[in-house]
């Protein structure tokens, strides 16, 4: 999308409005809102619902991406842009890559989220940078041969959908 700077600002402002609804008006979660835009039109919106849903993955970006995929009937979002009230966390940024989001515009930084809301993603970034053996969550591999047997069947499946 070759939108003007004011056009981008309009969509970021909408994400900020959603963040205010989530945190101040509805109390569903933190100060996070997001919109997905394609061809200059909002496809979906999302807001943080972690507290209301008791779901640590219900971030505004995640909701917007899920709804955009449903709306467009696709697990990929080519040509889509994410506008968000704050810099995406590691989970949301990874989901952007999986969904094929092409651009992200954000307002507040990770540092702002920590300073004003005590949302601290730094430990997650630090843990992900470590080798598996050194992470604070212990990971133990079991039954690899059984799992790989299914993978091999999947590999041979002629009608599988690549993603």
Contact residues for 115 (Cβ-Cβ < 8 A; gap 6+): none
Catalytic residue among 7, 17, 61, 63: 61
Single out the residue of 125, 91, 124, 89 nearest to residue 110, CA to CA.
89
Neighbours of 81 (CB within 10 A): 21
Angle, CA 62 vertex, CA 88 and CA 90 arms, to 5°: 35
Looking at the DSSP assignment, which residues form a beta bridge with residue 136?
Answer: none
**Residues 84, 107: contact at Cβ < 8 Å?**
yes
> Which residue's entry shows tokens 């040509």?
79
Contact residues for 67 (Cβ-Cβ < 8 A; gap 6+): 36, 43, 44, 45, 46
Q: Catalytic: 61?
A: yes
The C-alpha R_g of the chain, in whole angstroms, comes to: 18
> Which residue's entry shows tokens 């050194």?
134
- Residues noted as catalytic: 61
């Amino acid at each position: 999308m070759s939108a003007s700077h004011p056009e981008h600002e309009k969509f970021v402002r909408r994400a900020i409005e959603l963040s205010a609804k989530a945190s101040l008006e509805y109390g569903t979660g933190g100060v996070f809102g997001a919109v997905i835009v394609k061809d200059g039109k909002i496809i979906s919106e999302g807001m943080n619902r972690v507290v209301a849903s008791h779901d640590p993955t219900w971030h505004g970006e995640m909701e917007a991406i899920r709804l955009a995929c449903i709306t467009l009937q696709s697990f990929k979002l080519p040509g889509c842009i994410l506008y968000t009230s704050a810099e995406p966390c590691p989970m949301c940024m990874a989901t952007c890559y999986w969904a094929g989001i092409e651009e992200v515009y954000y307002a507040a930084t990770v540092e702002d989220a920590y300073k004003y809301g005590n949302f601290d993603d730094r430990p997650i970034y630090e843990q992900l940078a470590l080798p598996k053996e050194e992470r604070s969550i212990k990971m133990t591999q079991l039954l690899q041969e059984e799992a790989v047997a299914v993978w091999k069947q999947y590999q041979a499946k002629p009608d599988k959908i690549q993603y």
